[in-house]
Chains A and B, each alone.
Chain A
Amino acid sequence: MARMKFLLDAERCIECNACVTACKNEHEVPWGINRRRVVTINDGKPGERSISMACMHCTDAPCAAVCPVSCFYTTADAVVLHDKDLCIGCGYCFYACPFGAPQYPRLGNFGSRGKMDKCTFCAGGPQADNTQAEYIQYGSNRLAEGKLPLCAEMCSTKALLAGDGQIIASIYRERVQRRGYGTGAWGWRTAYRETVAI
Chain B
Amino acid sequence: MKLRILALLAALLMGAAAPAIAQTAPRAPSVAEEMEVQALLRGGSIQGRITIPDEKAATLIQPEGREWREFHNITLAWVGGIAVLGMLAILLVFRMTKGRIPIEGGPSGRTIQRFNTLERANHWMVASCFIILALSGLNLTFGRHILLPIVGPEAFTAISQWGKYAHNFLAFPFTLGLVVMLLIWLKDNIPNGRDIAWFKAGGGLIGNEHLEAGRFNGGQKMVFWITVLGGAVVAVSGYLLVFPFFFTGMEGMQLSHIIHSLLSVLMIAAMLAHIYIGSVGMDGAFDAMGTGQVDLNWAKQHHGLWVQEELAKGRAAAPPPGAKASGAD
Contacts and interface: CB of A to CB of B under 8 A. Distances in A.
Interface of A: 10, 17, 20, 32, 34, 37-43, 46-47, 49, 51, 53, 62, 65-71, 83, 85-92, 95-100, 109-113, 176-177, 180-187, 189-190, 195, 198
A47 B11 contact: yes
Contacts of B18: 180-181
A13 B318 CA distance: 85
A190 B242 contact: no
A51 B156 CA distance: 38
Given A68-B140, A180-B18, A182-B26, A41 B36 contact: no
A110 B244 CA distance: 9
Nearest to A83: B153
Interface in B293-317: none
Interface residues of B, number: 69
Interface string B210-250: 00000000000000000000000000000000111110001
Given A86-B154, A183-B15, A41 B144 contact: no
B72 to A, nearest CB: 5
A176 B26 contact: yes
A98 B26 contact: no
Nearest to B244: A111
B160 A38 contact: no
Contacts, number: 177
Most buried by B among A41, A43, A181: A181
Given A17-B51, A186-B32, A190-B61, A180 B19 contact: yes
Interface of B: 8, 11-12, 15-16, 18-19, 22-23, 26-37, 40, 46-52, 54, 56-63, 65-66, 68-69, 72-73, 139-141, 143-144, 148, 153-154, 156-157, 160-161, 164-165, 168-169, 242-246, 250, 253-254, 257
The 5 closest A-B pairs by CB, nearest first: A180-B22, A184-B33, A184-B32, A184-B30, A39-B48
Contacts of A68: 139-141, 143-144, 160
Contacts of A67: 144
Contact of A69 (B46, B60, B148): B148
